[in-house]
Chains A and B, each alone.
Chain A
Amino acid sequence: MSTYAAAKVVAAREIKVKLRDKTFLFSTAFFLLFSIAVTVLPAVFSGGPTSVAVADQTTATALQQADLEVRVVADDAAAEKLLRDGDVDAAVVSGPEVLGMSDTPTDVVRALSTAPPTRLLDPDAVDPFLAYIVPFALAFVFFFTSFLFGLQIAQSVTEEKQTRIVEILVASVPTRALLAGKVAALSLLAFVQVGLIAIVTLVGSRLAGLDSGVLRLLEPTIGWFVAFFVVGFVMLAALWAGVGAMASRPEELSSSSQPVQMAVMLPFFAVIFFGENDLVMRILSYVPISAPVAMPVRIFNGDAAVWEPIVALVVMAVTAAGLLAIGTRVYEGSLLRTNGRTSWATAWRSKAMS
C-alpha cells in the first residue's frame, strides 16, 4: 500500500472519530451560533423602523416619505393613547408637536425638520462599532479554531503514544502516512468549520440588511480570511503533531506544546492591542504567525493594497513548508520514545526510522 493510500485510511479514521466527538460537535455549534448572533442579532434588536401615530394627513405623508411606519388616527387624543399604550414609538399632534415616552424620537424630528446640506469627507470609513468588532471576531475565530484543532492533532498523537498502539501503527505503515493522515483530517475539519462560519456570517449579514458599503468590505475580508486560515493552520499543523509526539502522557502535553500555543496566542493579543497602530499592523500582517489575522483586518479597514495579501500568503506558504519539515522530523524523532518527555534536541537528533 502506498503512503498516500495509508494516509487516506488514517485520515478516514480520524474524521470518523471526531464526528462522534462531543467537543468537536459542541465547538462547531457554538461558533455557528456565535456568528449568527454577531451578524443577525443587532438588526433584530434595533427593531425595525420607528412607528409613529398621527392624525394630520400632510404630516403623515411627510413621515411616510422618511420610511417611518405611520399609523393615521382620527384625532390627537387617539394618537397619544396609542403612544401611551406602547403600540407606537412616537406620535405627532397638532402644533406640530412630537410626542415621545422617555426619549426624543430623533428620526421623527429629523423627518419633520429641514436639515442643512451635508458633505462627507470620508464616506467609505467603517462604522466605529464594526471597526472594533470585525478584527476582534476574526482574531477570535482564528485563535479558537486554530488552537482547538491544533491541540486535537497533538492530543490524538499523544493518545496513540500513551496507549502504545503507535508501535503497531508504525510497524504497519510509514510514519509519514500517520502524520499526513492526521494533519489532513483535522485540517479538513477545521476548514469545514471555518468555511461554515464564513458562509453563515455572509448570509447572515445579508439577511440582517447591513448596508452595502459594509458588505463590500466584509465579503473580500472573509474570503481572504479563509485563505489565510488554510495556509496558517497547515503551517502549524505538523508542529502540533511534533509536540504531541514529544509528550508520552497527556499531562506532559501542556508543557511540550507551549511554544506552539504561544505561536497561536501571541498574534491574537497583538492584533487586539495594536489594532489601531498602522505600523505595527503592517508588520504583523507580514509576520507568518500573525498574518492570518492581521492581513484580513487591514483588508477590512481598506489599508491593504491589492498585492499585499498575495505577498503575505507567499511568505506564509514558504514558512509552512519549512515548519512542516521541522514538525515531521520532530514527530518521527520522538514518536517511539516512550520514556517521559522528549526534548526538542533529542527529537531533532534522533535517527529517523526506516
Chain B
Amino acid sequence: MTTVLNVDSVSRSFGDRAVLKNVSFAVGGGKLTGFVGANGAGKTTTMRIILGVLAADSGEVTLGGKPLTREIRQRFGYMPEERGLYPKMTVHDQIVYLGRLHGLSSSAAEERTGKLLERLGLGERAGEKLEKLSLGNQQRAQVAAALVHDPEVLVLDEPFSGLDPIAVETMVEVLRDRAASGAPVLFSSHQLELVERLCDDLVIIADGGIRAAGDRATLRAQHAEPRYQMLVDTDAGWLRDQPGVELIDLDGARAVFTLDAGFDDQKVLLAALERGPVRSFGPVVPTLTEIFREVVR
C-alpha cells in the first residue's frame, strides 16, 4: 500500500520576505523524489513545514488526504540540513533515545538500534561517544537517527552532502529500501548527477515557487526542446546556413543544434551525408542540469 504526501498551496514569509509562494507538489509513495533548487530557493523551509518544525502561513500538508497531526508526523523520518546529535552521548544511547521520542517502546528501540547500527557498519562503535567517531561515522549515526523508528515518510535535507563515496552508496541503498517498502521519500540535493541517477520524480523550486514537478521522463519531454548532436569528419559550419536548423554549439566537426517545430531531422542527415561521412547523428537526452537551467531561467 502506498500513500501520497501532498504539499498543497503552502506559503510562508519571514517578515516582508516571501520565502514560499503557493507551493504545491506531491511525493508519491514508493518513489524517490528529488527536490532541487538553488540556495535560498525555499527547499529547507518547505521541508521544515512538512515536518511541522515551522508553521505555514497558509496552505497545508496532507498524507493520504489527511492533514498532518503530531501523531502522523511522529512516524516521519527527518534529517535536517544542519546535522547534529549529542556529542557526549554514546551512539547507541542517543539512537535509542530518539527511537523512544518517536514513540517506540524501550525494548523495540533497543532492538531497532542494534540492527540499524549493525547495518550501517557502526555495530562496533555503538558504545562510543559520538564525538570520538570519525566524521564519516558521525554521518552514519545521523542516518540512523532518521531511520530508527522505521519511518513511514522520509524527508532528508541534503542527505548526501559531506558523505564519502562509500557512505553515499549506503545512503542510496537505505533510500531505495525505504521507498521499496512503499514510503514516500523526499530528498533535496545540490548534486544533480546523483539526483538524476536516483530519482523517479523531480520537484524543481526557484524563488519560492515550484517551477516543475512530476516524473523525470515527462519533465524531460516538457521542459527541454529536443536537441541533436552530429559528428562528421570535416568542419560542420555549413549547418549555420541550413534552413530549419538552429545551431547551439559548434566545435569543429561536432555540432549540437535544435530543429524548427515539425522539421524532419532526416533531411539534415541527408544534407550531411552529401558533404561526407557522418560518424554519429541522433537526439541528445537532456541532462537534469540542462532541464534545471531551462526551467529555472
Q: A171-B73, A338-B82 are in contact. Are A6 and B101 (CB under 8 A)?
A: yes
**Pair B76/A165 contact, Cβ less than 8 Å:** no
B55-A354 in contact (CB<8A): yes
With a CB–CB cut-off of 8 A, which chain A residues contact B55?
Answer: 351-354
Q: Are A171 and B78 in contact (CB under 8 A)?
A: yes
Q: Which of B73, B78, B84 contacts A163 (CB 8 A)?
A: B84
Q: Is A174 an interface residue (CB 8 A)?
A: yes
CB neighbours (8 Å) of A353 from chain B are: 52-55
Question: Contact at A173–B101, with CB atoms within 8 Å?
Answer: yes
- Give the chain B neighbours of A336 by CB distance below 8 A: 53-54
A165 touches which one: B48, B86, B100, B146 (CB < 8 A)? B86
Q: A70 CB to closest chain B CB, in angstroms?
A: 63
> In the complex, which residue of chain A has the Cβ closest to the Cβ of B76?
A171
Using a CB-CB cutoff of 8 Å, which residues 34-68 of chain B contact chain A? 48, 51-55
| Residues of chain A lying within 8 A (CB to CB) of residue B88 | 17
CB within 8 Å for A167 and B97 given contacts A1-B74, A172-B102: no
CB of A206 closer than 8 Å to a CB of B: no
Query: In the complex, which residues 88-126 of chain B have their Cβ closer than 8 Å to any Cβ of chain A?
Result: 88-89, 97-98, 100-103
**Chain B residues near A338 (CB, 8 Å)?**
82
Q: Which of B89, B100, B145 contacts A168 (CB 8 A)?
A: B145
The reply to whether A167 and B52 form a contact with Cβ atoms under 8 Å apart is no
Contact of B51 with A164 in the complex, beta carbons under 8 Å: no
Whether the Cβ atoms of B98 and A168 lie closer than 8 Å is: yes
Question: In the assembled complex, which residues on chain A have CB atoms less than 8 Å from the CB atom of B237?
Answer: none
**Residue B87 CB within 8 A of the other chain:** yes
Closest A residue by C-beta to B103: A1
Report if A9 contacts B (CB, 8 A): yes
By the criterion CB–CB under 8 Å, are A163 and B52 in contact? Answer: no
Residues of B within 8 Å of A159, CB to CB, are 86
Contact with A along B144-168 (1 / 0, CB 8 A): 0110000000000000000000000
Alpha-carbon distance A354/B53, docked complex (angstroms): 7
| A318 close to chain B: CB less than 8 A | no
Using a Cβ cutoff of 8 Å, how many contacts connect chains A and B?
A: 66
Residues of A within 8 A of B82 (CB): 164, 167, 338
Q: Which A residue sits closest to B100, measured CB to CB?
A: A9
Q: Is the CB of A9 within 8 A of B84?
A: no
Highest count of chain B CB atoms <10 Å: which of A6, A338, A354: A354
A169: interface (CB < 8 Å): yes
- A324-354 CB contact bits vs B (8 Å, 1 = yes)? 0000000000001010000000000001111
Query: Taking CB as reference atom, which chain B residue is nearest A167?
Result: B80
| B70 beta carbon closer than 8 Å to chain A | yes
> For B102, what are the chain A residues with a Cβ–Cβ distance below 8 Å?
1, 172
Q: How far is the CA of A184 from the CA of B87 in the complex (A)?
A: 23
Tell me, in angstroms, the Cα distance from A9 to B76 when the chains sit together: 19
A164 CB contact (under 8 Å) in B54, B83, B100, B101: B83
Tell me the bound Cα distance from A92 to B68 in angstroms.
93
Q: Are A171 and B52 in contact (CB under 8 A)?
A: yes
User: In the bound complex, do residue A9 and residue B80 qualify as a contact, i.e. CB atoms below 8 Å apart?
Assistant: no
B85 near A165: Cβ-Cβ < 8 Å: yes
Are B87 and A163 touching (Cβ within 8 A)?
yes
CA distance A172 to B82 in the complex (A): 16
Residues of B within 8 Å of A260, CB to CB, are none
A43 at the interface (CB under 8 A from B): no
A165 touches B51 (CB 8 A): no
Question: What is the CA–CA distance of A171 and B73 in the complex, to the nearest angstrom?
Answer: 8
Closest Cβ–Cβ distance, residue A310 to chain B (whole Å): 40
Does A134 count as interface, using CB distance less than 8 angstroms? no
**Which residues from B are CB-within-8-Å of A160?**
86
**Interface residue A81 (Cβ < 8 Å from any Cβ of B):** no
A328–B54 Cα gap in the complex (Å)?
Answer: 17
Chain A residues closer than 8 Å to B74, beta-carbon distance: 1, 172-173
A163 touches B85 (CB 8 A): yes
Q: Are A165 and B97 in contact (CB under 8 A)?
A: no
Contacts of A174 in B (CB 8 A): 70
Beta-carbon nearest neighbor of A13 in chain B: B97
Task: Tell me, in angstroms, the Cα distance from A244 to B42 when the chains sit together.
Answer: 28
| Interface check A66, CB cutoff 8 A | no
Asked if A73 lies at the interface with its beta carbon under 8 angstroms from chain B, I say no
Evaluate contact between A168 and B78: CB separation under 8 angstroms: yes
Output the residue of A1, A167, A174, A338 with the most chain B CB within 10 A.
Answer: A167
Residues of A within 8 A of B97 (CB): 9, 13
Residue from the list B53, B85, B98 in contact with A170, Cβ < 8 A: B53
A-side contacts of B87, CB under 8 Å = 163
Q: For A9, list chain B residues within 8 Å (CB).
A: 97, 100-101
Contact indicator A172/B101 (Cβ below 8 Å): yes
A166: B residues at CB distance < 8 A: 84
Q: How far is the CA of A164 from the CA of B89 in the complex (A)?
A: 14
6 examples of A-B residue contacts, CB within 8 angstroms: A166-B84, A168-B78, A168-B80, A168-B98, A174-B70, A336-B54
> 13 other contacts beyond A6-B101, A353-B53, with CB at 8 A cut-off?
A9-B97, A10-B101, A13-B97, A163-B86, A164-B80, A166-B84, A168-B85, A170-B53, A171-B51, A171-B52, A336-B54, A338-B82, A354-B55
Closest CB pairs A-B (n = 3): A164-B84, A163-B84, A167-B80
- Residues on B lying within 8 angstroms of A by beta carbon are 48, 51-55, 70, 73-74, 76, 78, 80, 82-89, 97-98, 100-103, 145-146
